[in-house]
């Protein structure tokens, strides 16, 4: 048809692009709607906007078009994972539980985000986010990590003291999260985004940066698309 003609196609693409630019300039909130589509379909193992929006923005930035949705998922480890292995396990379990319960198809590409704390230097603790992408069809499994946010030692110690010695998930972490401790101790701090108060950078920004790197790694490993 007419649209197949390279010149017509070029004009159509340019028109589409300028209309999109105009819409997104007038209303930046429309960006996710315009960029939702294309062949890439990702499920984030959470329904928390901070995670879903960060991953969506990152993948749409890298791929141009992507459908990114969220599904609440459980992990069976401690609410406050401690150490890289626990963070990875928590992230992986969220994907596994969605597949196991049939919420997502066994071949569905999924991205999972799990925060954990880790002692990187003696008595110096940090909060880090672990991100995983798993694409069974293409046999791709990648990890990335957010930047590390320092957590003052006293708050980690409080979370530890609030966790019973015989807590059955103690191997994986603590019963009380650092965010919960901070919320109790510091005025006007929210357990979901204390990063902003401490560093001036939001958790969403940190997840976005790591997700963008993850999307870039993923894009390189995907087989070339057949035109």
Query: In this predicted structure, what is the pLDDT of residue 13?
Result: 63
Q: Has this prediction a pTM greater than 0.85?
A: no
Mean local confidence (pLDDT), 156-185: 96
CA-nearest of 109, 113, 115, 116 to 141 is 109
**In the chain, pLDDT over 70 holds for what percent of residues?**
83
Map the chain to HEC letters: CHHHCHHHHHHHHHHHHHHHHHHHHHCHHHHHHHCCCCCCEEEECCCCHHHHHHHHHHHHHHHCCCEEEECCCCCCCCCEEECHHHHHHHHHHHHHHHHHCCCCCCCCCEEEEEEEEEEEECCEEEEEEEEEEEECCCCEEEEEECCCEEECHHHHHHHHHCCCCCCCCCCCEECCCHHHHHHHHCCCCCCCCHHHHHHCCCHHHHHHHHHHHHHHHHHHHCCCCCC
**Position 37 confidence tier, pLDDT thresholds 50, 70, 90:** low
Across the chain, which distance is largest between two alpha carbons, in Å?
72
Tens-place pLDDT, residues 17-30: 666 666 666 676 66
Cβ(46)–Cβ(33) under 8 Å?
no
What is the rounded distance in angstroms from the CA atom of residue 189 to the CA atom of residue 88?
27
What is the rounded distance in angstroms from the CA atom of residue 134 to the CA atom of residue 85?
17
Q: Residue 196 CB: number of other CB atoms within 10 A? A: 17
For helices 153-161 and 178-185, angle between their N-to-C axes, nearest 10 degrees: 110
What is the rounded distance in angstroms from the CA atom of residue 53 to the CA atom of residue 204?
8
What is the rounded distance in angstroms from the CA atom of residue 10 to the CA atom of residue 145?
40
Structural domain spans, the chain: 35-147+203-221
What is the third-level CATH fold of 35-147+203-221? Maf protein (3.90.950)
- Would you say residue 14 has pLDDT above 80? no
Tens-place pLDDT, residues 75-99: 999 999 999 999 999 999 999 999 9
Residue 98 CB contacts under 8 Å (≥ 6 apart), including other chains: 43, 45, 71, 73, 104, 110
């Amino acid at each position: 048809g007419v649209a197949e003609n390279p010149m017509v196609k070029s004009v159509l693409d340019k028109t589409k692009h300028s209309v999109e630019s105009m819409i997104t300039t007038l209303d930046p909130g429309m960006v996710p709607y315009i960029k939702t589509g294309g062949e890439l379909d990702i499920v984030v193992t959470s329904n928390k906007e901070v995670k879903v929006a960060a991953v969506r923005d990152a993948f749409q930035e890298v791929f141009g078009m992507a459908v990114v949705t969220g599904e609440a998922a459980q992990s069976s480890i401690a609410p406050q994972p401690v150490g890289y292995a626990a963070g990875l396990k928590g992230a992986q379990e969220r994907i596994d539980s969605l597949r196991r319960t049939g919420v997502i198809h066994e071949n569905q590409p999924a991205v999972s985000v799990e925060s954990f704390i880790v002692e990187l230097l003696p008595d110096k603790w940090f909060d880090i986010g672990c991100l995983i992408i798993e694409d069974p069809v293409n046999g791709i499994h990648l990890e990335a990590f957010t930047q590390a946010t320092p957590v003052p030692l006293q708050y980690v110690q409080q979370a530890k003291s609030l966790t019973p010695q015989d807590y059955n998930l103690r191997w994986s972490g603590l019963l009380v999260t650092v965010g919960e401790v901070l919320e109790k101790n510091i005025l006007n701090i929210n357990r979901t985004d204390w990063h902003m108060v401490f560093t001036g950078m939001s958790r969403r920004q940190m997840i976005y940066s790591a997700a963008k790197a993850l999307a870039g790694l993923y894009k390189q490993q995907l087989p070339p698309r057949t035109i």
